[in-house]
Amino acid sequence: MRHSSKTILIGLTLAACSSCGTNGDNGSSGASGARTSGDNSASADGGSTPGSSGNGSTGSSGNTSGSSGDTSSSSSSSSSGSSGDTSSSSSSSSGSSGDASASSSSGSSGSSGDASTGTTWSTSPSGTAKDLHGVWGSGSNDVWAVGDGGTLLHWTGTAWSSVTSGTSNNLWGVWGSGASDVWVVGQSATFLHWNGATWSETHPVGNGFVLTRAWGTGPSDVWAGGDGGALIHFDGTAWSYTSAASLSRVAGVWGRSANDVWAAAYKLTHWNGTQWSVETTPSGRYFNAVWGSGASDVWAVGGGAGNILHWNGTAWSDASVQASDLYAIWGSAANDVWAVGGTVRGQIVHWNGTAWALTFDQGNALRDIWGSGANDVWAVGSGGTILHHP
């Protein structure tokens, strides 16, 4: 009821990670609420670095995304039989930490995934050791990834290349309506826009807070979320600031249409075309992302051990999985949904239409996921990590 106002190595042991502290309404994050971001560009191993948002009305913001833990904590990787799309990515050994060699050069051969589900992920060299927070594309040969220090990467079907963003601010989210209309949001309320030829930077709503995610239905209907429950809307001409009640910060935005939009934060909130309303969800949870295949099939993931909820069109129900914190979710269909996260190691869980399963548990923590289809999925994370499925 609304109120107004994812081969893994054979023999891999699935170890449940302890839940992190939940966020409070004051905007302070728990031990690893990585989607909550502050202006502090440094990240702590497997944890969070809270930072002041710089806007008194928003309260303190959360953290930069936690970088991965040490390599000794990850599972050992198989060196045989690499699979996946070799034209687009190189396979790497598991348990890589957040240095440049982990992301920009290939390691031992062999893709990683879960033999029982047939899912395979391979490392794609990014050329950077910066933490990456967001990924989106208009198609298989046009994908953007964003991260710390103004990092902006572009995939054109062969390799990732660095693109000058024009800012040193940390960048957190990317979304577009097409190849020539792409928005990037980040630290200091930064908006970057790509018109198909050049990137431009604007700060239409000031610079006192962090923007974490963007999503829209088209060029004239785009939402961006951030600190202090900020929900900022673009109507094709200008951005306007609103705030959803009872939200400490907005970590994710997704919708099905202009009048069916969800925002993930300390609480889940829904936009019906007129107003935002707070959802009734289990207490003691906070949320980082939302995705659905339809109006009555929506998933929300968040902080706390494998925190997953499902919306059937009427109510939210628990669907938690044995995993650590989850930060992003995306699917190609109702029976093919991926969620990524992890604190000490990167983790990927997969929904096959019947059950969630942990299918990847190694390397650096992961922060976002997007795909052009079931056989072309990208995940990005700490230390410049970029993974590709299959």
Tell me: pLDDT of 319 over 90.
Answer: yes
For all residues of the chain together, what is the average pLDDT?
77
230-285 pLDDT per residue, tens: 899 999 999 998 876 556 789 999 999 999 999 999 889 999 999 999 888 887 78
- pLDDT beyond 90 at 298: yes
Q: Minimal CA–CA distance to 33: which of 254, 277, 289?
A: 289
pLDDT recorded at residue 3: 41
Percent share of the chain, pLDDT over 90: 59
> For the segment 73-111, what is each residue's pLDDT rounded down to a tens digit?
333 333 333 333 333 333 333 333 333 333 333 333 335
Q: What is the mean pLDDT of residues 49-59?
A: 34
Say what the pLDDT of residue 246 is: 56
pLDDT at 184 over 80: yes
What confidence tier does 61 reach under pLDDT thresholds 50, 70, 90? very low
- pLDDT value for 368: 98
Separation CA 298–CA 177 (nearest Å): 21
Q: Are 122 and 91 in contact (CB under 8 A)?
A: yes
* C-alpha distance from residue 224 to each of 83, 182, 187, 204, 300 (Å): 37, 13, 12, 12, 17
Token code pair at residue 389:
């499925």
pTM of the model: 0.72
Question: Whole-angstrom Cα distance, residue 36 to residue 250?
Answer: 8
The per-residue pLDDT for 119 is 66
For residues 211-227, give the mean pLDDT.
Answer: 96
Query: Of 149-158, 202-211, 306-315, 376-385, which range is least confident?
Result: 202-211
Concatenated DSSP letters for 216-264?
EEETTEEEEEEBTTEEEEE-SS-EEEEE-TT-SB--EEEEEETTEEEEE
Q: How confident is the model at residue 46 (pLDDT cuts 50, 70, 90)?
A: very low
Identify the pLDDT of residue 105.
35
Average pLDDT over residues 377-390: 98
Neighbours of 248 (CB within 10 A): 25
Tokens 């929506």 map to which residue?
298
Question: Which of the two residues, 35 and 278, has the higher pLDDT score?
Answer: 278
Residue 62 reports pLDDT greater than 50:
no
Assess contact for 13 and 75: CB atoms under 8 A: yes
340 pLDDT higher than 80: yes
221-234 average pLDDT score: 93
Half-sphere exposure of residue 45, counting CA atoms within 13 Å on the CB side?
8
Give the model's confidence band at 305: pLDDT under 50 very low, under 70 low, under 90 confident, else very high. confident
Question: Lowest mean pLDDT: which of 203-212, 249-258, 332-341?
Answer: 203-212
- Give the residue with greater pLDDT, 370 vs 61: 370
